[in-house]
C-alpha cells in the first residue's frame, strides 16, 4: 500500500470515528448561552508554549521581531544595516536566514513567502503592530500536522486581539531622530467587537548615512457571532515602508581606519516594500462536542531591494549593485472538523482538515548602480501551489497518559516561465512533488505538577521553484525531528515553570536558491541536536522572571560545520511591578560564537546586550482615561557588537583583487526612547 493510499484510508477511518463520537443527529438541538472558560493550555511537547501580551508590551517597539527573543533559543537580528528588510532568524542550530526553516503565521495566515526574490521563506514582520498582539503560540520541531511548509525548526503564530477595553494614543521619540506614533481603539465591544490600530515609525539609525526608515501600518478587525454557537472574524492590514541601508561592511576597512563602524561602502543600498492582507476566520461549535472551522486569506505584496555585497569584485568600474524585485498575490485557506467524545470509554479528539495555498509571483534579479537598473540576470513568472489534507487523533487512555498523532500529506505544483530570452539564467518548466509526514506525541503525567514528553515528527521546507525546475533533485527538503522533555510547576499553577528539552533534527540534502546571484547551490544532509532549559513565571509577589539557555551542535553529515549556526544562546529577564504604578524590566540577550565557514577557520565573536524598560502610570486625574509614561534603554552598557555577520570575498575600489574577509552589520549603540500613552 502506498503512503498516499495509507493516508486516505486513515482519513476515512477518522471520519468514521468522528461520526461515532457525535451525538444522535435526530436529537433535539438546544441553543445555549455563550460562556468563557479559562484554563491551562494543553501542550504536545515540552518546548511548546504561549507567550502573553504582558511580556510583549515591555519590549522596545521599533522592531516587531524583538518579541521573538522571548522564545527560548530564538534570536533575530537586523540583516543589512537598515530596519526595513526582514530580520535574520536563528533557532535550533539553523541560520534560518529570513525564514527558510521557521514558519510564521498571523491568526493562522502564513507570513513566509515562497520563491521570494531575495530568499526562500522570506518573512518580513514589520506589518505587525506589537500592541495588537494578544500572545504568541510557539511550536518547536515538526510534531503537529496543522503546520507544513517552513515549520522544520518550529512555528510561531501571532494571535491578535479582538478588542481592547481602553483606547490608546501613544507618542514616542528618541535618539537618531526616532519617532513612533500609535493609535488603537475598539468602537464596539459587545455583539460586534471591533479593533482598529494605526502606526507611524521613523528613524535615521546610528549610521553615518541616515537610514531614513519610514514605516506606516494600518490594522482593522471585526469579530461577531452569527448564532450563539459560532464566531467569525475579518481582519485587514496594510503596510508600506522605505529605507536606506549601510549594508554589510568589510572588517578590514574598519580595522585599518578607512571606514567607520557605522559607515558604508555603498550608501545607495535600501529598498521599499508594501504588503496588504485580508483574512477571514470562522468556527462553529456543534451541540455534540464538535467544531467546524474554515479560514481564508489573501495578500498583495511587492518589494524592491537594492544591495551590494561584493562592492567592486565583479564590476570594478560600476560596482556590483543588484536589484531584486518581487510582485505577488497570495491566497489560500483551510477547512476542517474536530470532534471530541469517547471511543470505547476513552476520551478522544479527532480532527480532519485540508489546507491550500497559491502564490502568483513575478520575481526579477538585475544589476544596478545607485539604484539605476543596468541589466537583467533573471526574470520569471512563477505559479506555485500546494494542497495538504491532514488528520489528527488525540486520546487519553488513563489520567496520566495522553497520545497525539497524525499525518499530513502535501502536494506541490511548480510552474516557472522565463520572461527574459536574453538572460544568462533562464529557469523554466513545470514540476509536481508530494510528501506524507507522520507525527507522534506521548505525554505522561502530571505527577507532582510535572509532565514528561516524547515526540517524533517529520517536516520540511519547500525549495525555490526556480531551483526545482532547473535541477533534478527533490523540490522538498525533508526533516526528521525528535524530542524528549519535561515541564514542571513545583509551586503550583501561579509559580515558576521549569522546562528542559533535548532534541535532534536531521535534514536531508536540499537545494538552496541564492537569490543574490540567481543561481542554485546544492547542500548535503545535516544533523542538529541540542538541549534547551528555561524558567518563567512569578517568583514572589511583584517579581516575575523569564530565562533560557540553549546548547546546539550543528554539522553537515561529512563533519563540516554549518555556517552561522550558534552553539550557545541565552536570554534572561527580570520584571518587577512596583507598588506605585511602576513596572521595570531588565533583560539580557546572548549569542555565542558561530563558525562562518565550513572548516571553522573563521568565526564570529560572541556578544551580550542588556535592555532596560520602564512603564509608569502617572498619578494624574483626567476626566476621561489615564496617562502612562515609558522609557526603553537599548544596549544599556553600550556594548560594541555585531548583528548579521558573514565571511565572503569582496573587493574595495582601492584593491587589485578580491579578498575573503568578515563582513558585518554593527549592532546599535546605547539608545534611549521614551514617550507617553493616553488610555481612554
Residue 553 burial by Cβ neighbours in a 10 Å radius (0-12, 13-18, 19+): middle
136 has pLDDT over 60: yes
Nearest to 75 by CA among 607, 646, 663, 669: 607
CB 645 within 8 A of CB 226: no
Measured between alpha carbons, how far is 153 from 109 in angstroms, rounded to an integer?
18
Measured between alpha carbons, how far is 184 from 384 in angstroms, rounded to an integer?
36
240 has pLDDT over 90: yes
Q: What predicted TM-score, i.e. pTM, was given to this entire model?
A: 0.92
Cell of 159: 494571535
The DSSP bridge pattern shows strands 102-106 and 154-160 to be parallel
- DSSP string spanning 607-622? EEEEEEEEEEE-----
For residue 463, count other CB atoms closer than 10 A to its CB: 26
For residue 618, count other CB atoms closer than 10 A to its CB: 14
Measured between alpha carbons, how far is 219 from 310 in angstroms, rounded to an integer?
39
> Residue 537: which residues within 8 A CB-CB, separation 6 or more?
489, 494, 495, 496, 497, 544, 545
154 has pLDDT over 90: yes
* Beta-strand runs (E) in 344-449: 346-369, 372-398, 401-418, 429-447
CB-hemisphere CA count at 13 Å for 193?
Answer: 15
Cell of 119: 530568499
| Vertex 242 angle, CA 520 and 642, to 5° | 65
| Vertex 203 angle, CA 200 and 206, to 5° | 165
* Beta-strand runs (E) in 80-132: 88-91, 94-95, 102-106, 109-110
Tell me 668's DSSP state: P
What order of strands is seen across the sheet that includes strand 75-77?
A: 75-77, 88-91, 94-95
pLDDT tens profile 167-209: 999 999 999 999 999 999 999 999 999 999 999 999 999 999 9
pLDDT tens profile 389-444: 999 999 999 999 999 999 999 999 999 999 999 998 899 999 999 999 999 999 99
What is the structure's pLDDT at 18?
40
CB 149 within 8 A of CB 414: no
What average pLDDT score do residues 628-640 get? 96
Count the helices and strands in the chain (H runs, E runs).
4, 37
What average pLDDT score do residues 84-100 get? 92
Provide the pLDDT confidence category of residue 10 given band limits of 50, 70 and 90.
very low
What is the structure's pLDDT at 512?
56
Cell of 208: 553615518
What backbone phi and psi angles, to 5 degrees, belong to 125? Answer: -90, 5
What is the structure's pLDDT at 641?
96
- Where are the chain's structural domains? 3-21+45-430+439-679
Nearest to 143 by CA among 71, 46, 76, 74: 46
Measured between alpha carbons, how far is 381 from 360 in angstroms, rounded to an integer?
8
**In 79-125, where does DSSP find H-type helix?**
none
**CA–CA distances in Å: residue 207 to residues 65, 137, 261, 652, 668:** 20, 35, 8, 20, 9
Q: Which 3 state secondary structure label does DSSP give 156? A: strand
Nearest to 145 by CA among 351, 6, 433, 303: 351
pLDDT tens profile 524-537: 899 999 999 999 99
CB-hemisphere CA count at 13 Å for 66?
Answer: 21
Q: State yes or no: cis peptide before 446, omega within 30 of 0.
A: yes
Cell of 465: 521553484
Distance of CA 187 to the CA centre of its chain: 30
Pick the more confident residue, 96 or 76: 76
What order of strands is seen across the sheet that includes strand 154-160?
A: 49-52, 133-140, 154-160, 102-106, 109-110
What is the structure's pLDDT at 459?
96
What is the structure's pLDDT at 645?
93
Distance of CA 95 to the CA centre of its chain: 13
CB 671 within 8 A of CB 174: yes
What is the structure's pLDDT at 623?
84
For residue 450, count other CB atoms closer than 10 A to its CB: 14
Cell of 357: 495555498
Cell of 207: 549610521
Task: Tell the residue number behind the cell numbers 506589518, with chain if given.
Answer: 127
pLDDT tens profile 348-399: 999 999 999 999 999 999 999 999 999 999 999 999 999 999 999 999 999 9
Which helix (H) or strand (E) covers residue 255, if one does?
A: helix 251-255
Q: Which 3 state secondary structure label does DSSP give 424? A: coil
Q: Phi-psi category of 445—alpha, beta or left, where left has phi over 0 and alpha has psi -120 to 50?
A: left
- Average pLDDT taken over every residue of the chain: 91
What average pLDDT score do residues 54-75 get? 89
518 has pLDDT over 70: no
Strand partners for 222: 194, 234
Provide the pLDDT confidence category of residue 22 given band limits of 50, 70 and 90.
very low
**In 394-472, where does DSSP find H-type helix?**
465-470
pLDDT tens profile 284-328: 999 999 999 999 999 999 999 999 999 999 999 999 999 999 999
Provide the pLDDT confidence category of residue 8 given band limits of 50, 70 and 90.
very low
Domain 3-21+45-430+439-679, CATH class in plain words: mainly beta
Amino acid at each position: 500500500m502506498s503512503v498516499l493510499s495509507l493516508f486516505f484510508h486513515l482519513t476515512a477511518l477518522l471520519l468514521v470515528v468522528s461520526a461515532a463520537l457525535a451525538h444522535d443527529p435526530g436529537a433535539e438541538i438546544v441553543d445555549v448561552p455563550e460562556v468563557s472558560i479559562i484554563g491551562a493550555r494543553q501542550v504536545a511537547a515540552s518546548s511548546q508554549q504561549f507567550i502573553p501580551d504582558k511580556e510583549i508590551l515591555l519590549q522596545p517597539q521599533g522592531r516587531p521581531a524583538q518579541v521573538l527573543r522571548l522564545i527560548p533559543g530564538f534570536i533575530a537580528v537586523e540583516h543589512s544595516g537598515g530596519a526595513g528588510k526582514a530580520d535574520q532568524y536563528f533557532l535550533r542550530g539553523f541560520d534560518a536566514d529570513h525564514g527558510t526553516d521557521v514558519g510564521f503565521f498571523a491568526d493562522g495566515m502564513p507570513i513566509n513567502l515562497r520563491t521570494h526574490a531575495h530568499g526562500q521563506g522570506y518573512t518580513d514582520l514589520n506589518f505587525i503592530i506589537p500592541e495588537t498582539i494578544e500572545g504568541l503560540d510557539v511550536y518547536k520541531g515538526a510534531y503537529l500536522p496543522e503546520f507544513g511548509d517552513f515549520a522544520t525548526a518550529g512555528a510561531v503564530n501571532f494571535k491578535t486581539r479582538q478588542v481592547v477595553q481602553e483606547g490608546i494614543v501613544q507618542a514616542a521619540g528618541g535618539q537618531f531622530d526616532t519617532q513612533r506614533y500609535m493609535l488603537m481603539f475598539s468602537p464596539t465591544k459587545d455583539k460586534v467587537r471591533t479593533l482598529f490600530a494605526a502606526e507611524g515609525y521613523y528613524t535615521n539609525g546610528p549610521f553615518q548615512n541616515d537610514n531614513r526608515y519610514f514605516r506606516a501600518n494600518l490594522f482593522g478587525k471585526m469579530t461577531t457571532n452569527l448564532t450563539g454557537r459560532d464566531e467569525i472574524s475579518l481582519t485587514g492590514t496594510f503596510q508600506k515602508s522605505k529605507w536606506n541601508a549601510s549594508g554589510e561592511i568589510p572588517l578590514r576597512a574598519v580595522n585599518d581606519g578607512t571606514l567607520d563602524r557605522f559607515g558604508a561602502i555603498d550608501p545607495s543600498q535600501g529598498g521599499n516594500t508594501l504588503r496588504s492582507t485580508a483574512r477571514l476566520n470562522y468556527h462553529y461549535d456543534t451541540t455534540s462536542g464538535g467544531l467546524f472551522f474554515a479560514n481564508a486569506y489573501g495578500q498583495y505584496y511587492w518589494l524592491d531591494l537594492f544591495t551590494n555585497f561584493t562592492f567592486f569584485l565583479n564590476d570594478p568600474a560600476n560596482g556590483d549593485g543588484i536589484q531584486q524585485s518581487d510582485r505577488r498575490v497570495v491566497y489560500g485557506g483551510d477547512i476542517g472538523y474536530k470532534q471530541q467524545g469517547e471511543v470505547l470509554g476513552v476520551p478522544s479528539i479527532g480532527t480532519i482538515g485540508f489546507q491550500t495555498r497559491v502564490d502568483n509571483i513575478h520575481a526579477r534579479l538585475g544589476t544596478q548602480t545607485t539604484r539605476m537598473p543596468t541589466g537583467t540576470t533573471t526574470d520569471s513568472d512563477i505559479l506555485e501551489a500546494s494542497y495538504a489534507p491532514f488528520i489528527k487523533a488525540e486520546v487519553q487512555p488513563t489520567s496520566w497518559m495522553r497520545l497525539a498523532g497524525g499525518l499530513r500529506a502535501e502536494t506541490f505544483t511548480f510552474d516557472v516561465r522565463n520572461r527574459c530570452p536574453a538572460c544568462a539564467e533562464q529557469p523554466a518548466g513545470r514540476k509536481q512533488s508530494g510528501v506524507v509526514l507522520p507525527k507522534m506525541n506521548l505525554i505522561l503525567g502530571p505527577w507532582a505538577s510535572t509532565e514528561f514528553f516524547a515526540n517524533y515528527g517529520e517536516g520540511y521546507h519547500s525549495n525555490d521553484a526556480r531551483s526545482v525546475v532547473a535541477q533534478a533533485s527533490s523540490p522538498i527538503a525533508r526533516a526528521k525531528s525528535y524530542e524528549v522533555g519535561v515541564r514542571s510547576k513545583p509551586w503550583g499553577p501561579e509559580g515558576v515553570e521549569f522546562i528542559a528539552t533535548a532534541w535532534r533534527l536531521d535534514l536531508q540534502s536540499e537545494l538552496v536558491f541564492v537569490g543574490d546571484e540567481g543561481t542554485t547551490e546544492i547542500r548535503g544532509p545535516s544533523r542538529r541536536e541540542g538541549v534547551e532549559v528555561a524558567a518563567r513565571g512569578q517568583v514572589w509577589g511583584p517579581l516575575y522572571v523569564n530565562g533560557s539557555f540553549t546548547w546546539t551542535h550543528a554539522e553537515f553529515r561529512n563533519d563540516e560545520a554549518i555556517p552561522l549556526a550558534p552553539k550557545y544562546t541565552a536570554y534572561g529577564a527580570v520584571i518587577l511591578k512596583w507598588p506605585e504604578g511602576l513596572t521595570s524590566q531588565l533583560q539580557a540577550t546572548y549569542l555565542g560564537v558561530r563558525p562562518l565557514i565550513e572548516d571553522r577557520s573563521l568565526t564570529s565573536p560572541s556578544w551580550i546586550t542588556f535592555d532596560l524598560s520602564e512603564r509608569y502610570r502617572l498619578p494624574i486625574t483626567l476626566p476621561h482615561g489615564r496617562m502612562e509614561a515609558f522609557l526603553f534603554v537599548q544596549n544599556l552598557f553600550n556594548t560594541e557588537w555585531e548583528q548579521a555577520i558573514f565571511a565572503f570575498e569582496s573587493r574595495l575600489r582601492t584593491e587589485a583583487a578580491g579578498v575573503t574577509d568578515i563582513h558585518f552589520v554593527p549592532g546599535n549603540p546605547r539608545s534611549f526612547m521614551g514617550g507617553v500613552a493616553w488610555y481612554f
